[in-house]
Amino acid sequence: MDPARRLGPAQIDVLAQLAVATVLLGGIYALISVGLTLIFGIMRVVNFAHGEFLMLGMYLAFWAFVVFTADPYFVVFVAIPLFFVVGLVVYGLVMRGVIHASHNVQIFTTVGLSTVLQNVALVAWSGDFRFVRPWHLSTVLRAGSTIFNLTQVVASLIAVALTLALVAFMKWTHAGRVMRATAQDREAATLMGIDTDRVYRLTFAIGIAAVGAAGVLVAPLYSVYPTAGLQFVLLSYVVVVLGGLGDMLGAMIGSLIVAAVEVAGSYFFGVAWKEIFYFILFILVLVFRPAGLFGQRGAETLGV
Amino acid sequence: MSALLRARRGAVVVFGLAALTPLVVRDAYFLDSLVLILLWGALSAAWNVAGGYAGQVSIGHASFFGIGAYSAALMVTRFGRGPWLGLLVGVVLSIGAGLIIGVLSNRLKGPYFALSTIAFSQVLLIGVSRWRGFTAGAEGIPVPFRPGFATLGLGHTGWVYMALSVALVCYAVEVYLERSRVGYQLAGVREDEDAAEALGIHTRKLKVGAVALSAALTSICGSLWAQYVGFVDPTYVFSVDLSVRFALNAIIGGMGTALGPFLGSILITSLETYLRATFSNWDARFAGIYLVIYGTALILVVRFVPEGLAGIAARIRMRKAHA
């Protein structure tokens, strides 16, 4: 179900189609990555379990569809508060104790969490590939020479709307300002009377809510299985590093870049090879601009 | 020599028991577990060279394991040569790959280094899965069993001693890193790179060297594993889970200690064998339960006993000495 595979007859304007495909895919990648970059930027923790929350969102969409025949695009509004609570619980149980620990401890805590969640899903729901097939998946939209299906367009629109809402929240609300202040300087924020533990808890819950919602949105477009999160999380690492850690607008631009690489790569070299391009891009960025395309130089050696 | 043995009596007990077991036990199932314990222990010890001693924490060591496994398997099936030559080719390729990763991600720290190693293993996974003509793609390669030492077609007893030899090699490398000048320099780099640099230590060279050495050892184990198990497929040998597993044994046993990875392997591998046997009678997917326990153990250990089993043992010894 790759968007790029739906490139139709040769007469369509290939470039326009590729551009629209990039924007649609980029919108979804942005929502997946924005939670990761938020957690990364404020808590200074790389959440290696991020993809597993996406996978849980996909299963939520699947079961809601099977049991209640609920459309994923309604379920997404249930998913946001639900995953917010999941985020609070996981923060309290797992993350809180390691927030001031060393990198190694943090890396392996979230890696352990990822293993647990993947295998809980495996035990509970088996390793079978599941599919969510709402009616709009077979509805085709035409705009000029480009064609797309409705599911993809709606998923992308909701994803972009949620991402922008989060950006606005960070920019204009008091809580958002407090979170940004903590990201800039933990000690100074504490001295100003900010309760950093509350900030971290809120950050983690928002990040998980965003990726859970993204999981619901992508469920109809990809197959659902216990390790489905892996491909997305690897991609969102690329996005986050490209955009610069904690930089939400950077993450949105990074999403478009990754989507463009993927769309162009699968068009010119075949779908089978598409992932290899963004991993190579990833390694190149890590080597030459590890602080991101727009980030400050040297951020990667500050010990994040 | 006797002082060294006394200081390392834990290792003498562990490896001595492993060496004596095949003389007494004939049960194939038990010997199979022993081979796996030794091989996983050796792999974690190899990871420990980079992750524990040099502080280069990788979650992409499956890259080198896969390179070793595929080199041996392809040498036998595509070129009709012995697996030993494949093992050698794997070592050379892995050192090359280790140097590339080491040089490219030299500036990266902590999570950034871990991420770049994951990306590297994914590139290999995709490459090997898609290059069907040569690697047989995602279907994997069955490695034929031909009896004899040259073809690595050994019986259970033979495999125990083979795995034990590799385990001892990896252990010896670790011990060397604990006692030699290079080892002390590496510890300096791990604890404070800037300070080490200021003291005139070639931090860059040391880190890259440690990753390459660790890669070579991992590759050897990968080649042997391919011959022992008799099947190689890319989604397993290049998986992130496998990379995590190498790290897990070392962390649970005690990162940066020589015997730690083996203690971790004894605990985790026997737990796995036991749970797999217990639950697989119910339903195949219940084998996933051991991974749930595994992940939980990892979270709890790094949080509450970051120094691992070897660290606990050392603490008890200290308390006794003071009492």
Contact assignment for A122 to B303 by CB distance below 8 Å: no
| d(C-alpha B166, C-alpha A19), whole Å | 54
Side-chain-facing half-sphere of A145: CA atoms under 13 Å? 12
Nearest CA in chain A to B103: A287
pLDDT along chain B (323 residues), means of 10: 72 85 84 92 95 89 95 90 91 94 80 86 89 82 81 83 94 91 86 84 88 96 93 90 90 88 91 78 71 87 85 81 74
Q: What is the distance in angstroms between the Cα of B306 and the nearest Cα belonging to chain A?
A: 8
| pLDDT level of residue A303 (50, 70, 90 thresholds) | very low
| d(C-alpha B79, C-alpha A223), whole Å | 38
Q: Is the pLDDT of residue A302 over 50?
A: no
**Contacts with A265 from chain B: Cβ below 8 Å:** none
> 223-282 in A: which are within 8 Å (CB) of B?
230, 234, 237-238, 241, 272-273, 275-276, 279-280, 282
Query: Is B270 within a domain?
Result: no
Q: Is the pLDDT of residue A296 over 60?
A: no
Q: Is the pLDDT of residue A241 over 80?
A: yes
The answer to whether B103 contacts chain A (CB < 8 Å) is: no
| d(C-alpha A125, C-alpha A70), whole Å | 19
The mean per-residue pLDDT over the stretch A189-196 comes to 87
Query: Is B18 within a domain?
Result: yes
Q: Is the pLDDT of residue A298 over 50?
A: no
Give the pLDDT confidence score for residue B45 in this predicted structure: 95
State the DSSP string of B57-109: --S-THHHHHHHHHHHHHHHHTT---HHHHHHHHHHHHHHHHHHHHHHTTT--
| d(C-alpha B289, C-alpha A119), whole Å | 7
| d(C-alpha B128, C-alpha B137), whole Å | 6
Q: Is the pLDDT of residue A304 over 60?
A: no
Q: Is the pLDDT of residue A143 over 90?
A: no
| d(C-alpha B265, C-alpha B271), whole Å | 9
Contact assignment for B115 to A241 by CB distance below 8 Å: yes
Give the pLDDT confidence score for residue A91 in this predicted structure: 95
Q: Which amino acid is at A138?
A: S
Q: Is the pLDDT of residue A165 over 50?
A: yes
DSSP β-bridge partners for residue A142: A147
Give the pLDDT confidence score for residue A245 in this predicted structure: 75
Contact assignment for B109 to A287 by CB distance below 8 Å: no
The answer to whether B118 contacts chain A (CB < 8 Å) is: yes
Q: What is the distance in angstroms between the Cα of B110 and the nearest Cα belonging to chain A?
A: 6
**Contacts with B255 from chain A: Cβ below 8 Å:** 104
Helix (H, G, I), strand (E, B) or coil at B232: strand
Nearest CA in chain A to B297: A112
Strands B231-232 and A146-149: unpaired
| pLDDT level of residue A88 (50, 70, 90 thresholds) | very high
Q: Is the pLDDT of residue A80 over 80?
A: yes
Give the pLDDT confidence score for residue B223 in this predicted structure: 95
Query: Is B147 within a domain?
Result: yes
| d(C-alpha B183, C-alpha B188), whole Å | 9
Query: Is B321 within a domain?
Result: no
| d(C-alpha B70, C-alpha B50), whole Å | 22
Query: Is B182 within a domain?
Result: yes
Give the pLDDT confidence score for residue B96 in this predicted structure: 95
Give the pLDDT confidence score for residue B93 in this predicted structure: 95
How many domains does one find in chain B?
1
In chain B the first and final C-alpha atoms are separated, in Å, by: 29
| d(C-alpha A212, C-alpha A200), whole Å | 18
User: Which residue among B105, B241, B306 places its CB closest to the CB of A105?
Assistant: B306
State the DSSP string of A121-156: HHHHH-S--B----GGGG-EEEETTEEEEHHHHHHH
Q: Is the pLDDT of residue A295 over 80?
A: no
Nearest CA in chain A to B122: A279
Query: Is B123 within a domain?
Result: yes
Contact assignment for A122 to B288 by CB distance below 8 Å: yes
The answer to whether A84 contacts chain B (CB < 8 Å) is: no
Q: Is the pLDDT of residue A134 over 50?
A: yes
Query: Is B288 within a domain?
Result: no
Query: Is B250 within a domain?
Result: no
Q: Is the pLDDT of residue A300 over 60?
A: no
The domain limits of chain A are 16-228
Backbone angles phi, psi at B153, to 5 degrees: -95, 85
Ramachandran area for residue B66 (φ above 0: left; ψ -120 to 50: alpha; else beta): alpha
**Contacts with A101 from chain B: Cβ below 8 Å:** 302-303, 306
| d(C-alpha A2, C-alpha A87), whole Å | 30
Structural domain boundaries, residue B40: 2-238
The answer to whether A120 contacts chain B (CB < 8 Å) is: yes
**Contacts with B241 from chain A: Cβ below 8 Å:** 115
| d(C-alpha A286, C-alpha A279), whole Å | 10
